[in-house]
Amino acid sequence: MKTKLNLSTWPRKEHFGFFSQFEEPFFGLVATIDCTKGYASAKAKNVSFFIYYLHKVLAAVNNVEEFRYRISGNEVVVYDRVDASATLTREDNTFGFSLMEFNPEIEVFSANSKAEIERVRNTTGLFTREFDNDNIIHFSAIPWVDFTSLSHARSFTFPDSCPKISVGKMTEKDGRKSMPVSVHVHHGLMDGYHVGLFFDALQREMDN
């Protein structure tokens, strides 16, 4: 479900109007997340680490209200729940877009995600299903690269306000595991402060 945000009382109304006029209203940054406890927890639960950290990313996204904002015409709507459209690779190294629906229970999320991964792997092309709403984040994993920056291919004429989150290669140093996480968001909907809230929430999720 979604509700309209009351723009008349929203403190960021002017910011929304200003940045929404930009050809490129998205901004992005990369930060490193400690995943030592998260990796151990995933192994203990017999859950793939990809599914585990995607679940934690979605938990953090749903925890920060601004990450559930989307632009609809000249309005801003707030979704009750946000899912992920993750790029999933196939044996031929192509990928397709998926829909990973968030569930707070990791076991339920894992089972549903495994089914979606298998479905995409048995399809061809990019668009393997229809997306009825924009209550999604665009998610990708780049486990081959310990990146320090990242950009996205974007059409400036296509209306889009979905956050884009990417995770890089996990590395280990002095017994601690870490990985880079890239976040790109619409500046009309949030600022660096809110991205900081997301990273704080994600670290808590990984530690718990």
Burial class (CB in 10 A: 0-12, 13-18, 19+), 126: exposed
Per-residue pLDDT tens digits for 84-122: 999 999 999 999 999 999 999 999 999 999 999 999 999
CATH number attached to the domain at 2-207: 3.30.559.10
Q: Please write the tens of the pLDDT for every residue from 7-51.
A: 999 999 999 999 999 999 999 999 999 999 999 999 999 999 999
Q: What is the pLDDT of residue 159?
A: 86
Q: Where are the domains of the chain?
A: 2-207
Catalytic residue among 138, 186, 187, 194: 187
The 3-state DSSP class for residue 118 equals helix
Distances (CA, A) of 164 to 43, 92, 167, 190: 27, 24, 10, 13
Is 187 annotated in the active site? yes
